[in-house]
Structure 1
Amino acid sequence: MGDAFGTIGVIGVAGQIIQATVQFGLDFKDAPTDVKNFIIELQALKTTLSETHSNLITNDEFIQAFKGQDSALLKQTLGIDTSQIILSCKHELEELLQKLTKRTQGHRVGWERLKGAFLSERTRDAVQDVYRQCQTLNSLVAIDTAALMACTLNEVRAGRQEHRDGETSRQQAAVLDWLSSMNHYTQHSEAISPRQPGTGQWFLETAEYQKWVQTTGQTLFSPGIPGSGKTVLTSIVVEDLSQRFKGDDNIGIAYLYCNFKSYRNLKAIDLLASILKQLAQGKASLPNSVQSLFNNCDKGRTRPLNEQVSITMHSVVMEYTRVFIIVDALDELTMSYDCGEKLLSELFALCKDCEINLFATSRFIPGITSKFQDCLWLNIKATDHDVQTYLEAQASSLPIFVSRDSELSKQVVNSIMKATDGMFLLAKLHLDTIKDKLNLKAVRAALKNLAKGSDAYKKAYDDAMERIEHQSKDRDLLAKRVLSWITCAKRPLTVMELQHALAVEINESELDEENITEVEILVTVCAGLVIVEQESSIIRLVHYTTQEYFENTFQRWFPGATSEITRVCLTYLSMRVFEGGPCPDDDMFEERLRLYNLYDYASKHWGSHAYDDPSVTDDGIRFLKGQANVEASCQAFLADLQKWGCSFYRASQWHLKINGIHLAAHFGLEDLLRRILEGCEVDLRDSHGQTPFVWALRQNHGGTLKLLHDRGADINSKDIQNMTPLMHAIEWNLSENIHQILDWGADIDAKDSEGWSSIIHAANWSNKELMRLLIERGADIDVKDCQGRSSIIHAVKWDNMGLIRLLIDRGADINATDNRGLTALHHASFRENIIAMKLLVENGSYLETKSRYDETPLMLASKGGNLQAVRLLMQQGSDVNFQNDNGRTPLHMAALSGYSNVVKFLREMATKRW
C-alpha cells in the first residue's frame, strides 16, 4: 500500500522536534506544563504513527488477509480526509521546527524563549487532529479484526462442514459399492451408443407408451424378435424418462441391461441390489433403511439376505412419488427360481404394493410372455424408417465405388431393408457382407443372395465365417482364436485380457510383448462379428444370437479350443514372474494385475475350463506342484468382492498358505485330485485351517465331496474358528450337501469358537428349512452359545417370525436366559417386535423375569422408549409398579431415558391401577 497517508513525513518531523529539545540542552523536567504536555502528546503521536505505519499501512500480510473481502481500514486509504489531516499536521510541525531553530540562533536558549513556538494553537490543533485520526484508524482496525475473526470462524465452520460432507459422501459411496458393483451408467452408455439420431421416436409417441408414462402403477411389456433393437430401444426409454423428469427428486428411475455372459453367475438378489443402489443414489442423502441394511450386515462384511433386500427396496421406493424400473432382455437371464423367476416375483410385488411403473423386454418365450398377459403390450420391431436411417448413416463405410454411385448406394439400402424384416442386426450383418466386396459384380451378386426368413441369421453368420476363412491363413487362425476365446470365456473379457491371452506361447515362462496384436486387427479379422465397448473396453460378440450360433457350431469352427484356452491359462499362471508367490501388500498386488492383464481371469477360471476338458490333466499337475505360483493365483481368485460380500478387499487378507489339492477341490477337478491324492494327505489344511473337503463344499461339488470322503476326509474337521464343514454348508445354504454330510455322520451339535452350534448358525442365517431339517435330525434345540443365547433368542434378534414359530412349535424353552439374564421376550421388547412379543406371551413367556441388571421386559421396553412394546406388555398384565432392587419402576426407567410419551402412558396406567 506504500505511504498512503504520508505518515513517514510526520514521524520524521516529530522526531526532529523531540530531538531538538535535547540538542538545545534543555532539561525536560524544567519545561512549562503546557510545553511538557505538548511534547508528551507529540511523542505519543510519533509512537502511534510508527506502529500504524509498520503494522498496518505497509504490512502486506494485513493487506493479503483482506484479499477478496471488505476492509474498513483499507477503504479509508481511498479517501482524502486522513491524508489531508496528516499533511496539514506535517506542515504545522515543520513551521514549529523552523521557529525553534530561529529562536535559538544567537540567543541564550531557554524554555521561556521557546515556549511560544510550542504553544501555537494551530500546531496543537493539528497534532490533536492527527491523534484523533489515529484513534479512528484504531477503531477501524478493531472493526476489521472482528470482521476477520467472524470470517475466519465461518471458514473454519465451512471447512468442518465440508470435511463432514466429504466423509459422509465417502461413507455413502462405500455403502452403495457394497450393495452392488455393477456400473449401470456404463451399461446405459454402451446400450445407447449405436443409436442413430431420430430412430425409436415412433415408440415414444405410441398411445401405449404414453399411457404407461402418465399412469402410476402400469406395466409395459415389449417383446421382440432377435436383433429387432430391443436394447437400443430400452436405452431410448431410459433416456426419455431421464430427460422428462430431470431435476425431480421425487421420481426414481432404475434399470437393468441383462447380458447372457455378464449375468451368467448372478442371482436375483444381485440384480435387485443393483436396482436398490440406483434408487438409493437418486436421493439427496442415503436412505436410512439402506444404512440400516448395511449396519445389520456387520457393516458390509456380509451380504444381505433376499428378504432384507426386499424389505429395504419397498422402504426406499416409498420415499419416491413415482418409481420407474426398466429391465431389458429378460430372456438372457436364467429363468430359475433364484434368478429370473425370483426377480420377476419381486418386481411384480413392487408393482402391487408400491405401484411402481415396470418396463420389460424379451424375446417371444412362452415362459416369460405368459407372466405379462394382463399388462400393456407393445411389440418391438425395427421400422423401415429406423433401418433406413441406420443404413444411410453407415453408407460412408461402403467401398468407394459404391458410395460414389448414388443409385447403387440406394439399391444397397433398399435391398438390405427388404431382407431385414424388422431386424437391425441382420441389416448390420448384410452391410458387413457388402463392405467386403471388391467390385460392382460382387456387390450385385451379394445383394441377390441376401439371407431372408427364419434361417437368415444362420446364413448371415455362415457367410461371415466364410469371409473369415477366405482371409490369409494367419488372419483366419487369429479370427477363430479371438472368436473362440470370446465364446468360451466365463465372463466378458477386456481388450487387454484378450491380447495377453492370444500372445501366450504354451509352456513358455515369459510373456513376449512383441507377440501382442493390436486391437484394430483383432476386430477387423472377425468380419464384423466382434465389437469393442469404448467405455468399458470389453470386447464381445456383436449379439447374443452370435453366441448361440457359435455354441451350436462350436466343434465345426473351434475344435480343440477348450484345451487351448485351459493350457493358455495354466501357462500364464506358471510364468516365472509369479514364482515369488503372493504380493505382500495392496499396491504390489494392484501393480501385478495392471501389468499382467490376464492374471485375474486365468486365476479365477482356469479350473472351470479344465473342468470342461479333462485332457489337460498333465498340465494341471505341473501347475499345482508349483507351490508359490499356486498361492499367488489363490490370492487373485479370492479377491472377488461380490462373491465374498466385502465392500473392500486387502491383498494381504487373501495371502493364504494353500496346496494344489485345495485348488483342485475348489474347481471340482476329480481326475486331478485322484492323481494328487496318490502322494498327499487328504486333510491338508490351508492357513485358515480349512481342508480340501471344505473347499469342494463351498463350490457345491457333490462328486468331489464323495471322492474325498471315500479317501478318508474328516467331515468333522474344524478350522481356526472351530467351524465344521456342516456349519459352512449351513451358511452357504447347501441343503443337498447338508443331507449328505449328516448321513456320513457329521456332529450336529459341535460348537465353533463363539459357541454356535449348527442350529444357531441356521437361526442366524434365517433358514427355516434347514432349521427344520436339523431339528428332525436331532439337533439340541436349546443349546446356548458363549453369550448364553439359545436359537430362539437368535431368531428373535433377526425378527424372523417363521423361525420363532417353528422353534416354539418344536418345544424350544422360551424362558431360557442368556448370560445377561435376558429372555427372548426381553430381546423382542427391546426390538419392539410386537408380533414376536404376542407370540411369546401367548405361549407362556414370563412377564416379570428380571435380568442380571434387575430389568423386566417392561423396564427394558420403557428404557428404550418403545411405546408399542410397553402398551402390549401392560395389556398382557405386566406390573407397572414393579420395583427393582434399587427401587426403580418402569416409569423411572422411561423418565431417566427422556421418553416423555412413555412416561405419560405409564402414569396414566399407574393411576388406573391405583
Structure 2
Amino acid sequence: MAMPQELIEPTFHLHGGTAGKGGDASGQGTGGQGGTAHGSSLTVGEIKNATMNIYPGAEISIQQRDMIISWLSPINFFLRHADISQLREKGTGGWLLADPVFKKWKSGSGSTLWCHGIPGAGKTVLVSMVVDHLSAAFRNNKDIGISCIYLNHKEVDIQTPSRLLAGLWRQLVYDRDISSIAENLYKQHWQKGTAPSLEEVVNVLSSSIKEFSQVFIIVDAMDEYPEDQRLILLKHLTEQMGLSLSVNLMVTSRPHVPAGPTLPNVETLEIGAMAEDIQKFVNARIDLSSCLYKHVQRQPKLREDILSKISSKSVDGMFLLAKLHIDSLRTKNTIREVREALNALPESLYGSYEIAIERIDAQSDADRKTAHSTITWVVNAKRPLTVEELQVALAVKPGMQKLDEEDLTDIDIILSVCAGLVIVDKESSVVRLVHYTTQEYLDSIQALLFPNAQTEITCTLLTFLALDGYPDLSWTVNRASVPPLVEYSQYCLAHVAGKPEVQIRESLLEFLGRGFQWKKTMNTSEYSMDWKWNSLPWNYGDWPPHASALWIAAAANLVDSTKSLLEGASLPQHSANQAVIVASYYGHTEIVHILLDKGADVNGVRGRYGSSLQAAAQGGHTEIVCILLDKGADVNAAGGFYESSLQAAAQGGHTEIVRILLDKGADVNAAGGFYESSLLAAAKGGHTEIVCILLDMGADVNAAGGFYGSSLQVAAQEGHTEIVCILLDKGADVNAAGGEYGSSLQAAAQGGHTEIICLLLDKGADDNTAGGFYESSLEAAAKGGHTEIVCILLDKGADDNTAGGFYESSLQAAAKGGHTEIVCILLDKGADVNAAGEFYGSSLQAAAQGGHTEIVCILLDKGADVNAAGGFYGSSLKAAAQGGHTEIVCIFLDKGADVNAAGGVYGSSLQAAAQGGHTEIVCIFLDKGADVNAAGGEHGSSLQAAAKRGHTEVVCLLLDKGADVNTAGAFYESSLEAAAKGGHTEIVHILLDKGADVNGTRGKYGSSLQAAAQGGHIEIVCILLDKGANVNAAGGLYGCPLQAAAHGGHTEIVHILLDKGADDNAASGFYRSSLQAAARGGHTEIVHMLTEWGARVRTLVEN
C-alpha cells in the first residue's frame, strides 16, 4: 500500500502544520486581505499530488491537511488579528477585563455578551485584547477553544456566513486533528468541483465545538454586516449555543444593532474610550511624532495642553477622534501653529475628516493628485488592496505600454499625503481607510470630490491588462514574475457597469474580445491556484471552451455592451444560448430579456447548469424562472449537474421556485443528477418545508441512488432530526442499503447524532448491517469518538468484532482516533485485540501511529502482539518511530519489539525514525542494535532517508555508526543525490567528505549534479563541480544537468554549467535539448543565453 514517493510524502501524523497560523500567509483572494488571508500556498503540482492520494480513510499529510483547511475555510483571521493587536496601546483597555459583566461572561457557560459603542470608540481593538486575554488565560488548557471574526464592510462578498463559520472552525482546529467529517466533506466535493453548503459547514463546526469543554466565540463589528446576512450568521451562532452549553458568545456593534432575540442569556455592556486610556494613547503618539516630540521637549506645558484638550469631553469617548486630532497636529512646524490648530480642533468625526480633506487639497498638485487617486482606489476597491497592488495601480497611466519599477511611489509618501485617512496593516500589508466612518464620509462626498472614480479605476485596469506582454505565458511557471495588480484585475468589469460602460465603450469592447484569453492564461497558471475568482464573470463555475465577448458581457451584467455586440450582428445560436444560461444563473433580468428577444433558445441545453431554467432555479431568481417559463422553457428538461430544474431549486432551498415548477408540471420523481432526486437534494440541505412539499406531491421516499444512497441516509448524516422523522413517518426504509455510509444508521453514527440513532433503532434499524465506508455503524461511531452512541449500539447487540471498512474493526478505529474510553468499552465487550487490518495492520499499530500512549499500554496489557506484521508501516514499532513517539518506542522495545524487523513503507524502524528526523529514537535504535545499512523501503536506506529530509544530526549519527555513504537504491539511488535535490548543503559537504561518489549515475536525476541543477541549488552545483562532477553526465529525467537547469528557469546555474563546458546541444532527456526545455518553461532569458552560446534552434514541438 506504499504510495510513490514523488506523489506524496507519507508523513501521516495529523498535526497543526502551517495551516491556521498567521503565516499561512500571503493574504489570499477569497480571502483576500485583512482578515481573509490566503490559505497555504499550494501549487498546481502540490494540489494534484495531494488530491491524487486522498483515498477513503487514508491518514493525511501536513500538505493535505493544509489543503483541506484552505479549501473549506479560505478566510483566515489570524493575520487580521495580529494587525489589530499591534494598534493596541500598552496598558489600555484594562477596564473591560475588570468589569463585573465581562468577568461573569468569562466564567459562565452558554452566555452572550453584547457590547455596543459609538463609532471610533475602539471596539475592534478591545476585541483583539479580549482574544489575547482569553488565549493567555487558557493557554495550557487544550479543552478550551477561542475563535474570532472581524467583520469588514469592504469584504461582504467574501465574508459569507458559510465562510465566516468555516473561519471559526479553522481557528478551533489550529494545532489539532481535523475530523473525519471535514476530510469526507473534502473528498465528496473536490473531484466534482463543488463547494460545501452552509449546512455542511455548520455540521463541521458543530463537530469541532463538541471536542471542547468550552468555546469562546467573539464577533467584531456586527453593524458592518448586511442585515440579511447578519440574521443568518446569528441564527447559526444561536444554534451552536443551543447544541452546546459550553459556547460563550461576545459581539461588538454600534448601538443601533440590537442583540438577536434568540440569543441565550444576553448581557449588554457599553464600550467607550476611557479618559485615562485616551491620555495614554495621545502620550504615546506624541512621542512617536518627531516634530511634536521636539515641540513638547522645548515647552513641556504643551504636552499637558494637548492631553487636556484631546481627552476632554469633546472627544466623547472616541479613540478615532483622538487619533485624527493628533494627525492634524503632527504636521505643524512651530509651537504657535500647534496651539492654533489645537484651539481649532473640531468636535465631531466629520469635522475632522473635512479638515483632513482641506489639508490634502492644500498640498502641491502632485501630492494632491496622489492623495486623490489613493483615496479613489481605497474607497472604491471591491476588496482591500495590498501595498504592492496600490503602488502599481497608482503607477499605471493612460496610454502606458510598459510598467517599470521606477514608476512606483513609495508607500510612506502615499500615506503622508493622505493626511491620516489611509493606513497600512503591517502584518498583512493591506491598505485601509482609518475607520468604517471614513468610508461613510467619503461616500457622502464622492460625487463632488471623485465623480469619475469608477471610470478611472476601470481605465487603469484595462490599461494594465493591455500592457506589453500581458498576459504572459511565463506566469504559468514563475509566480515571482506576476505583477501584483494581476489578481485584483479580475474586478475590471465589476467597476464598469453604468456610466463607465458608456464612457469607455470602445476600449471595453476591445477587452471583452480578448477576455477569454486572460481567463485561460490565469487558469493554467500555478499562480492561479493561490487565489480565488471572486468577481463576475470570472468566478462562474462553467466557462465555455471559448467564451465570446457576448458571453462575458452577459455574465458581467453589461447591458450597454450586450446591446452593442448584438447591433447589426448575426447571432450564432450556441453563443446566444450560452449567454442566456449564464445571465439566468446570475439573475441578470434585463440581459435575459434582451437575449431572448434576439432569438436565444429558451430550451438550449449546455454544461453544468443544463438549461437557463435550471441555472435560474439554482440561483434562486424567481422572476427569471417565471420569464423563462412564460417563454416556453421545458420544466422537465434534463441535463446539467442537477439534472432537473426542480432538483436545483430544492437543493438551493428556494421554496417559491419549487412551488412554481411543480405547478408547471415538474416531475417530482425525476431521477439523475448529483443528488439523484429532488427529495434527496432537499433533505441534504435541511430544507424541511420543501421536503414536505415534495412528499405531498408524491415524491418517492425510498428513491435510491447517488453518493448519499437515500433521502433518509443523507438527512441522518447531516443531523436533520425533523426531516428524519418526516421521512420515517412517510415510510422510509430504515434499513435501505447503499450510499457512502451503507445505511442511515451508519451515517448518523458517523455524524454523532445520538437522537437520530435512537429514532432509527426504535424504527427497527439493524445495528449490524454491513457495508459503506466504515462497514458497520459501531466502527463509524468508534472512529468519531461518540461514546454514547457506541454504548447504545452495543446494548442493542452490535458485533464489536465485525471485520471490514477502512479500519477493519471498531477497536482499530477507536485506537486510531485516540478514544481511550471507547477502547476500554470494546475490550470489555470482547473485542479481539489482535484483529488484523489492512492499512494499520492492527489496533496497536493504529494507536502507536497516533501517539496514544495510554491506549498502547491498554492494548499491550490485553495481549496485543508487539511484533504483529502488516499494514502500511509494517509494524507498530515503525509506526511509532515514524511519528516520533519516543515513549511508545521504548515501551515496545521493553516488550520485545524486533528493532530489525523488515517490511512496511520505510523498510526498517531505523529508516522510519531517520526520515522523520527523530534523533533520540535513532540513538535508541542504534543502541539496541539496529542495522545501520539495512536496505529496502521507500528511501532505500536510513542514510538516504535522513539525507533527503535534511536531518544533518541524524546523517552524522548514521555515518559514525558505519552507514555506507554510497549505498544504492530507491528513488534517488544515492544519499548524495537525495541531499543535492533537497538543497541540503551541509549534508552534501558531509557526504563528500565521507567519500560519496560525486559522479554516481543512477536514480531519477541520473546524477547529483542534475538533481542540484533541477532544484536550483547554486551553492551545491558549485560544490559538486569543484569536487569533479561531470558537467555532461548523461542520464536521468532531463538527460543532463544543463537541461534540468534550463527547464527549471535557473539562469545563474545555466551560466555556470556553460562556463564549465556543458554541451548546449546534447540531445537526450525528456525535452531532447536544453533549448527546448527552456522554451517549454517560458524562460526567455535562458533561451537567449543558449542561442547566443550556440545552441542549434530545433523545431519546438507543440510550441
TM-score, scaled relative to structure 1: 0.70
Cα 1:555–1:320 shift into 2, 3 Å:
same
Distance across 2 between alignment mates of 1:528 and 1:242: 32
Counterpart residue identity of residue 123, structure 2? K
Task: Return the alpha-carbon distance in structure 2 between the equivalents of residues 230 and 827 of structure 1.
Answer: 42
1:402: how far off?
3.7
More helix by share: 1
Give the CA deviation at 1:714.
1.9
Cα offset, 1:834, TM superposition = 8.9
2:618 aligned partner, one-letter code: E
1:176-205: CA deviation from partner (whole Å, max 9, x where unpaired):
111222221101111111111111111111
Whole-Å separation in 2 of the counterparts to 1:362 and 1:696? 37
Residue among 611, 614, 622 paired with 2:510: 622
Partner of 2:803: none
2:445 to 544, 549, 553: 553
Matched residue SS, 2:216: strand
SS at match of 1:360: strand
8 Å contact from structure 1 (residues 829, 869) kept in 2: yes
Does the alignment pair 1:751 with 2:641? Answer: no
Aligned mates of 1:330, 1:835 — CA distance in 2: 31
Matched, 1:785 2:679: no
Aligned to 1:725: 612
Partner of 1:578: 470
Relative to structure 1, the CA distance from residue 717 to residue 608 in structure 2 (aligned partners, 3 Å threshold; closer, same or farther) is farther
> Given that residues 748 and 757 in structure 2 are in contact (C-alpha distance below 8 angstroms), is that contact kept between their aligned partners in structure 1?
yes
SS class of match (1:193): helix
1:175 corresponds in structure 2 to: 68
Deviation at residue 352 of structure 1 after TM alignment: 3.2
Which residues of 2 match residues 149-548 of structure 1 at below 5 A?
Answer: 167-281=60-174, 284-298=176-190, 301-336=193-228, 339-355=229-245, 356-367=247-258, 375-396=266-287, 397=289, 398-399=291-292, 400-418=294-312, 419-452=314-347, 456-548=348-440
Q: Structure 1 residues 490 and 227 mapped into 2: Cα distance closer, same or farther (>3 Å)?
A: same
Distance 1:160-1:784 versus aligned 2 partners, 3 A rule: closer
- 2:811 matched residue in structure 1: none
Give the distance between the partners of 1:684 and 1:568, measured in 2 at CA. 34
- Cα displacement (A) at 1:246: 0.3
Q: 1:659 aligns with which of 531, 537, 548?
A: 548
CA distance in structure 2 between the aligned counterparts of 1:351 and 1:232, rounded to whole angstroms? 25
Q: Give the residue type in structure 1 aligned to 2:232.
A: K
Given that 1:256 and 1:327 are in contact with CA atoms closer than 8 Å, whether structure 2 keeps it comes out as yes
Matches of 1:557 and 1:428, distance apart in 2: 24
The alignment of Structure 1 onto Structure 2 pairs a total of residues equal to 720
Aligned to 2:887: none
Distance 1:403 1:221, change over 3 A: farther
Q: Return the letter of the residue paired with 1:442.
A: E
Q: Which amino acid aligns with 1:622?
A: E
Q: Which structure has the greater CA radius of gyration?
A: 1
Q: Which residue of 2 aligns with 1:28?
A: none
CA–CA distance in structure 2, aligned partners of residues 230 and 870 of structure 1: 44
Q: CA deviation at 1:335?
A: 1.4
- Structure 2 CA distance, aligned partners of 1:489 and 1:788? 38
Secondary structure of 1:308's counterpart equals helix
Displacement of 1:404 after TM fit? 2.9
Alignment check: 8 A CA contact 1:584 1:652 kept: no
Structure 1 residues 517-569: Cα deviation after superposition (integer angstroms, max 9, x where no partner): 11111111111111111111111111111111110111232232222111111
Tell me the amino acid that sits aligned with residue 729 of structure 1: A
For 1:78-135, what per-residue CA distance to the aligned partner results, in whole angstroms no more than 9, with x for missing partners? xxxxxxxxxxxxxxxxxxxxxxxxxxxxxxxxxxxxxxxxxxxxxxxxxxxxxxxxxx
Corresponding letter in the other structure for 2:490: S
Residue in 1 aligned with 2:456?
Answer: 564
CA change 1:381–1:790 in 2 (3 A) is closer
Whole-Å Cα distance in 2 between the matches of residues 163 and 856 of structure 1? 30
**Conservation of the 8 A alpha-carbon contact between 2:490 and 2:533:** no
> Which deviates further from its counterpart, 783-792 or 462-471?
783-792
SS of equivalent residue, structure 2 residue 431? strand
Query: 2:272, 2:317 within 8 Å by CA — same for their partners in 1?
Result: yes
The within-5 A match list for 1:843-862 is 843=730
Check whether the contact 2:553–2:559 (CA below 8 A) recurs between aligned residues: yes
Q: 1:775 to 1:477 in 2, by over 3 A?
A: same
Cα distance in structure 1, aligned partners of 2:748 and 2:438: 62
Which one-letter code corresponds to 2:241 in the other structure? C
Q: Superposition RMSD on alpha carbons, in Å?
A: 4.5
Percent identity, aligned pairs only, is: 31
Q: Residues 764 and 296 (structure 1 numbering): CA distance in 2 closer, same or farther, change over 3 Å?
A: farther
Contact 1:220 1:378 in 2 (8 A): yes
Would the aligned equivalents of 1:224 and 1:363 in 2 still touch at CA under 8 Å? yes
Structure 2 unaligned regions, length at least 5: 1-8, 18-59, 779-792, 800-1103
CA offsets, 1:9-44, max 9 Å, x none?
xxxxxxxxxxxxxxxxxxxxxxxxxxxxxxxxxxxx
Q: Which amino acid aligns with 1:806?
A: I
1:634–1:656 contact (8 Å) kept in structure 2 = no
Specify the SS of the correspondent of 2:218. strand
Mean alpha-carbon deviation: is it higher for 731-740 or for 669-678?
731-740
Q: Quick one: distance in 1 between partners of 2:434 and 2:714?
A: 57
Cα deviation, 1:856-914, whole Å, max 9, x if unaligned, reads 9999999xxx9999998998799x9xxxxxxxx999999x978997998599xxxxxxx
Which letter does structure 2 place at the counterpart of 1:428? K
Distance in 2, matches of 1:386 and 1:657, equals 60
C-alpha spacing 1:366/1:498, structure 2 compared with 1 (3 Å): closer
Contact 2:682 2:691 in 1 (8 A): yes
Distance in 1 between the 2:261 and 2:675 partners?
A: 51
TM-score, with length taken from structure 2: 0.58
Give how far 1:370 is off: 7.6
Structure 1 counterpart SS, 2:173: helix
Whichever residue aligns with residue 380 of structure 1, its letter is I
1:200–1:236: 8 Å Cα contact kept in structure 2?
A: yes
Residue 46 of structure 2 is matched in structure 1 by none
Q: Distance in 2 between matches of 1:906 and 1:458?
A: 70
Q: State the secondary structure of the residue aligned to 1:350.
A: helix
C-alpha distance 697-605 of structure 1, shift in aligned 2 (>3 A): farther
Structure 2 letter corresponding to 1:470: A
Structure 2 letter corresponding to 1:379: E
| Aligned-residue offset at 1:757 | 2.2
Check conservation: 2:112, 2:264, Cα contact below 8 A. Answer: no
Which SS does the other structure have where 2:146 is aligned? strand
Q: Give 1:836 shift.
A: 6.7
3-state SS of the aligned residue for 2:115? strand
Q: Which amino acid aligns with 1:352?
A: G
- Residues 618 and 645 of structure 2 are in contact (CA less than 8 Å); yes or no, is this contact kept in structure 1? no
- Which residue does 1:691 correspond to in 2? 578
